[in-house]
Amino acid sequence: MAYSFPEEVLELVLSFLRSDRDRNAVSLVCWSWYEIERWCRHRLFIGNCYAVSPEIVIRRFPEVRAVEMKGKPHFADFNLVPEGWGGYVQPWIRAMAASYPSLEEIRLKRMVVTDESLDLIARSFKYFKVLVLSSCEGFTTDGLASIAANCRNLREIDLRESEVEDLSGHWLSHFPDNCTSLVSLNMSCLGSEVSFPALERLVGRCPSLRTLQLNRAVPLEKLPNLLHRAPQLVEFGTGAYSAEIRPDIYSNVAEAFSVCKQLRGLSGFWDVVPAYIPAMYSACAGITSLDLIYAAIQSPDLVKLISLCPRLQCLWVLDYIEDAGLEALAASCKDLQELRVFPSDPFEAEANVALTEQGLVSVSEGCPKLQSVLYFCRQMSNAALITIARNRPEMVRFRLCIIEPQAPDYLTLEPLDTGFGAIVENCKQLRRLSMSGLLTDRVFEYIGKHAKKLEMLSIAFAGDSDMGLDHVLSGCDSLRKLEIRDCPFGDKALLANAAKLETMRSLWMSSCLVSYGACKLLAQKMPRLNVEVIDERGHPNSRPETCPVEKLYIYRTVAGRRVDMPDFIWTMDKDAGNPEAFVSNGAVEMVGDA
């Protein structure tokens, strides 16, 4: 062809591409498209902060305005990743402070963020608008004060589920009086009391505030003050939902809720006093999302509440809801898409509530749009799983946790292989699966055969042999993240499927049977993987090579081995002949694997 599109035209066309997958595909067409695309990618998603380095990213994408990044492996949520593992954001912030002066948005998940980082963010990015720290740790309220004080255009500050060292509530008072840009504030994870007058004033002067999630320390009596100043709220999280039972408090709260006509999401509800639940009834007709995981509301009250929420799409609730409550949910909420039921008493072997597999079956029968489930219970049967699978073939996320490890089908005492097999066979769009209960290699055969769209799989106390792991690695074409604990999977399957690991974001294995020798071999075979052995018993050299390692985290990377590991983590040596420094086309996939 003697002509081609002018760059400007192509750039305009590319600006309509939002998905990273599409942009990555475009980058692979030819070098000139790669060039044009990299100059106009403004939003970056880095699923594993160690898969690539700040230098490589900045060199390739010079005009970035929004960065989203994840650090620790998912199992860190359950204390399986030791303290000091890594995931430090500081090197990224330092590099971006120098190269991305127009950066506006930072979203981090499971990373270690220090006050120093927050201060650097606050001082380096003049147009900074959005800070989301999800399940992060390492910072204090002093860091938040710096953000509040220095970010003139701050729109969003969301600290969901982060561990913040709460030095004082005064950080909120650092928002200057002329800050009126706030759209979203989530401080639900904070412990101490913020200055209420400062909060009131802040809420009152931000007319675009759509999301306000308070912390437990904000008392119920004060809610009306806030809601009256922000009747336009769409998402609201209460503080402690308890007070002396007084008619004046009740009517104030009820009236305040009725004033907020745009409310779609509610959360908070610590320490619920049942008498105050009806005060929120006026909001129920419009509610699409309800998060009650901190609310010890018993089933009858939950039934009343839920029956008033016909538009409910997402419900997170404790198992106090019981089978009866889930039946009511199934009857009232035909728009339900996502259900999460958490255990009120997870460490008790005996059931404290009347919640069984039947509740989930009812919801699967009654809610035609159900596609995302997280369910904790104490008994399950193959029959129930098969029913659920047949009822909801469009299921996308299915996470089941039977509290007793290796619990069999309680009716037949058989493994739950056929039940989960039915899930993967019927639910052809399934992208995420977590399994529990008694499971043999057979279930993995089903998964390898049917779960072709599966991207994330979590396995615990399951399987009999390496065949199980082999089925998964060889059969699951779309697999990106695999996390395994306490399974008898060892060297054979891992080494036989070494190449597969480079097509995935990461593999976590703890308390399995992978030997130190196999880890070394794998690293030599696959230089574009970091094979990290985590072992708190001391260097693996002090034990036989055949000895299984405690924990193993393997991930693809173009950044080489990381240098910020604590003393109990070792990266296995790669083949000395293979240079790691060049950026291959593998890197195009690396940055932005959604």
Partner 1 sequence: MLSHLNLEATELRLGLPGSDDLPSTNKRPSPEDHQTPPAPKAQIVGWPPVKSYRKSTAAAKSAEAESGMYVKVSMDGAPYLRKIDIKLYDGYSHLLTALEDMFKLSIGEYSEREGYKGSEYAPAYEDKDGDLMLVGDVPWEMFMSSCKRLRIMRGADARGLASAQH
**Structure token digits, residue 259:** 């004033």
Q: Is 405 in the site for partner 1 (CB under 8 A)?
A: yes
Segment 311 to 340, residues that bind partner 1, using CB under 8 A: 318
Q: Is 517 in the site for partner 1 (CB under 8 A)?
A: yes
Per-residue CA distances from 112 to 19, 59, 98, 365, 593 (Å): 27, 24, 20, 42, 22
Binder to partner 1 among 21, 152, 246, 537 (CB under 8 A)? 537
Mark residues 100-139: x for contact with partner 1 by CB under 8 A, - for none: -----------------------------------x----
Q: Is 567 in the site for partner 1 (CB under 8 A)?
A: yes
Q: Which stretch binds partner 1 (CB under 8 A): 43-51, 94-102, 140-148, 545-553?
A: 545-553
| Nearer Cβ to partner 1 (488/560) | 488
Cβ–Cβ under 8 Å, residues 32 and 55: no
Cβ–Cβ under 8 Å, residues 134 and 107: yes
Shortest approach of partner 1 to residue 92 CB, angstroms?
Answer: 24
Q: What's CA 301's distance to the chain center, in Å? A: 30
Q: Is 161 in the site for partner 1 (CB under 8 A)?
A: yes
Q: Is 142 in the site for partner 1 (CB under 8 A)?
A: no
Q: Is 352 in the site for partner 1 (CB under 8 A)?
A: yes
Binder to partner 1 among 10, 17, 80, 95 (CB under 8 A)? 80
Q: How far apart, in whole angstroms, are the C-alpha atoms of residue 354 and residue 398?
A: 22
Tokens 């299921």 correspond to 395
Q: What are phi and psi of 299, to 5 degrees?
A: -55, -50
Count Cβ atoms within 10 A of the Cβ of residue 56 and give its class: 0-12 exposed, 13-18 middle, 19 or more buried.
Answer: middle
118: enclosing H helix or E strand: helix 115-124
Q: Is 286 in the site for partner 1 (CB under 8 A)?
A: no
Binder to partner 1 among 195, 258, 262, 298 (CB under 8 A)? 298
SS (H, E, C) 402-417: ECCCCCCCCCCCCCCH
Q: Is 496 in the site for partner 1 (CB under 8 A)?
A: no
Binder to partner 1 among 342, 365, 390, 449 (CB under 8 A)? 342
Mark residues 237-276: x for contact with partner 1 by CB under 8 A, - for none: ---------------------------------xx-----
Q: Is 518 in the site for partner 1 (CB under 8 A)?
A: yes
Q: How far apart, in whole angstroms, are the C-alpha atoms of residue 301 and residue 292?
A: 12
What single DSSP character describes residue 506?
E
Q: Is 219 in the site for partner 1 (CB under 8 A)?
A: no
Tokens 């619990």 correspond to 407
Shortest approach of partner 1 to residue 401 CB, angstroms?
Answer: 6
Q: How far apart, in whole angstroms, are the C-alpha atoms of residue 113 and residue 198?
A: 26
| Nearer Cβ to partner 1 (490/592) | 490
Q: Which stretch binds partner 1 (CB under 8 A): 15-23, 82-90, 390-398, 474-482?
A: 82-90
Q: Is 406 in the site for partner 1 (CB under 8 A)?
A: yes
Cβ–Cβ under 8 Å, residues 586 and 558: yes
Number of residues that bind partner 1 (CB under 8 A): 66
Q: Is 88 in the site for partner 1 (CB under 8 A)?
A: no
Q: Which long-range contacts (CB under 8 A, 24 or more apart) does 441-446 make?
A: 441/465, 441/467, 441/468, 441/471, 442/415, 442/417, 443/415, 443/416, 443/417, 443/468, 444/468, 444/469, 444/471, 444/472, 445/471, 446/417, 446/420, 446/421
| Nearer Cβ to partner 1 (2/413) | 413
Q: Is 532 in the site for partner 1 (CB under 8 A)?
A: no
13: enclosing H helix or E strand: helix 7-14
Q: Is 282 in the site for partner 1 (CB under 8 A)?
A: no
Count Cβ atoms within 10 A of the Cβ of residue 568 and give its class: 0-12 exposed, 13-18 middle, 19 or more buried.
Answer: middle
| Nearer Cβ to partner 1 (26/240) | 240
- Which residue(s) pair with 339 in the sheet? 315, 373
Cβ–Cβ under 8 Å, residues 369 and 336: yes
Q: Is 460 in the site for partner 1 (CB under 8 A)?
A: yes
Shortest approach of partner 1 to residue 344 CB, angstroms?
Answer: 5
Q: Is 110 left (phi over 0), alpha (psi -120 to 50) or beta?
A: left
Shortest approach of partner 1 to residue 483 CB, angstroms?
Answer: 10
Q: Which stretch binds partner 1 (CB under 8 A): 77-85, 322-330, 387-395, 422-430?
A: 77-85
Strands 43-46 and 66-70: parallel
Q: What are phi and psi of 70, to 5 degrees?
A: -125, 150
Q: Is 539 in the site for partner 1 (CB under 8 A)?
A: no
| Nearer Cβ to partner 1 (60/551) | 551
| Nearer Cβ to partner 1 (207/566) | 566
**Structure token digits, residue 395:** 């299921």
Q: Which stretch binds partner 1 (CB under 8 A): 123-131, 140-148, 497-505, 546-554?
A: 546-554
Q: Is 461 in the site for partner 1 (CB under 8 A)?
A: yes
Q: Is 491 in the site for partner 1 (CB under 8 A)?
A: yes
Binder to partner 1 among 7, 55, 345, 580 (CB under 8 A)? 345
Shortest approach of partner 1 to residue 156 CB, angstroms?
Answer: 22
Q: Which stretch binds partner 1 (CB under 8 A): 34-42, 138-146, 225-233, 291-299?
A: 291-299
Instruction: Show Cβ contacts of residue 314 under 8 Å, excluding neighbours closer than 6 positions.
Output: 288, 289, 290, 336, 337, 338, 339
Q: Is 541 in the site for partner 1 (CB under 8 A)?
A: no
List contacts with partner 1 (CB under 8 A): 75, 77-80, 82-84, 135, 161, 163, 189, 270-271, 293-296, 298, 318, 342-347, 349, 352, 376, 401, 403-408, 410, 413, 434, 438, 460-461, 485-488, 490-492, 495, 511, 513, 515, 517-518, 521, 536-537, 544, 546-548, 550, 566-568
